[in-house]
Amino acid sequence: MPTPVDLSALRRHAVARSLFTPTTLLKAVEKLGGFVQADPLRAPARAQDLTLRHRVKGYQAGDLERRYPRLPLQEDFFINYGFVTPGLRALMHPRTTRRAWDKARWKLADAVLAEVERLGEAHPADVDAALDHGPVKNWFGGNSRLSTELLDGLHYRGRLDVVRRDSGTRVYRLGPAWQAHPDPQAAMDAMTDVLVQKYAPLPAGSLSQLINMLFHAAHQWEALRKPTFARAKERLAHARVDGRDWYWPADEDPTRGWRIPSQVRLLAPFDPVVWDRRRFELLWGWAYRFEAYTPAHKRVRGHYALPLLWRDQVIGWANAGVKEGRLRVECGYVAGHAPRDADFKAALADEERRLADFLGLA
């Protein structure tokens, strides 16, 4: 008789399948479904680096950006902005947008494309200097250069690639000529499988939400929203646990006895283990919130609190920073105190050492 699936099995499954044995950078990205979410905040490192340090052998902060020009990866928007493999990117393009450009805007955009072609590799400042498009109000009410906004829009539409970053600023070149996927439903199914590979096991509500988010990546196939969700539920393995349906890849077994090391890990706010806040509350019984954009006086856990994973339990959070060349870590705990055993204390010290090494600190 098969072992019944319960929340403890789902919790072990969620941790063990995502925090796999560290491997090469490319293999780690592939095992994460072909997508790593990016974020510009550095506290104490960017989210993509904090995510990869647990999964790539010998990873150092900034390795992805340093190696990016030589890697078969591309910056692009999937369900969020990040780094994608060529296979995943090809499923999304050529894509349409919710807000189409009119002829006047396309005339300006075509001038940008011509300037990028002339330059070969184009920094936004060089494009703006050549075209002098002037300022424009951006979506959050501030001012930006129209040339920069057009470059962003052309990149989203797949007309430009990001070659590298210069001091954090994207440098562009012309993108490939995209061929439409011959089977849109197959493309949507494949992108759904990327999400399941990255974030499973998923409660039904989260699976539905993620599929809805896919149409930011492939707006042209929005009519396939309902059939994509229905097909996913049919082909994925699932179980009903505590009155809720959960889904995961059909070739995996949450009850197989996943090995969870006695290890502390400080996770990025966007790490796949903790990214889905609905799933987080179901598996660990408390609400984690990302508070970097919350006014300081309203923060509960800190500007960039890192979820603190001990074995298969997220028991608290940590705020980490560098002061006078040394790593400082301040922890908080859901229970109000740290676990009262020596194993935890030693494991937390090991994780602090690993984090310091990753940051290149003594």
pLDDT in tens, 224-279: 999 999 999 999 999 999 999 999 999 999 998 888 999 999 999 999 999 999 99
Mean pLDDT of the chain: 94
Confidence of residue 3 (pLDDT cuts 50, 70, 90): confident
Compute the average pLDDT of residues 174-180: 94
Structure tokens given for 24 = 């090469």
* Distance of alpha carbon 148 from alpha carbon 142, whole angstroms: 13
At 298-356, the pLDDT tens digits run 999 999 999 999 999 999 999 999 999 999 999 999 999 999 988 999 999 999 999 99
Q: Which residues of 277-299 are buried (b: 16+ CB within 10 A; e: fewer)?
A: eebbebbbeeebebbeeeeeeee
Residue 165: the pLDDT is 95
Q: Please name every residue paired with 332 in a beta bridge, in sequence order, or none if there are none.
A: 317
Measured CA to CA, the distance from residue 359 to residue 267 in angstroms comes to 15
Domain residue ranges in the chain? 103-174, 264-358
276: Cα separation from own chain's centroid:
11
Question: Measured in whole angstroms, how far is the alpha carbon of residue 53 from the centre of its chain?
Answer: 14
* pLDDT for the residue 98: 87
Model confidence at 146: pLDDT above 50? yes
Q: How confident is the model at residue 199 (pLDDT cuts 50, 70, 90)?
A: very high
The helix (H) or strand (E) run that includes residue 297 is: none
Enumerate the H helices of 19-102 as residue ranges. Answer: 25-31, 47-52, 63-67, 86-92
* Cα–Cα distance measured from residue 148 to residue 330, given in angstroms and rounded to the nearest whole number: 39
The CATH number corresponding to 103-174 among 1.10.10, 2.60.40, 1.20.120, 2.30.29 equals 1.10.10
Rounded CA separation 8/283 (Å)? 8
Report the amino acid identity of residue 35. Answer: F
More confident site: 249 or 145: 249
Predicted local distance difference test score (pLDDT) of residue 143: 61
Give the N- to C-terminal CA distance of the chain in Å, as an integer. Answer: 53
Question: Per-residue pLDDT for 184 more than 80?
Answer: yes
Q: pLDDT digits over 125-138, tens only?
A: 999 999 877 666 65
Predicted pLDDT at 85: 98
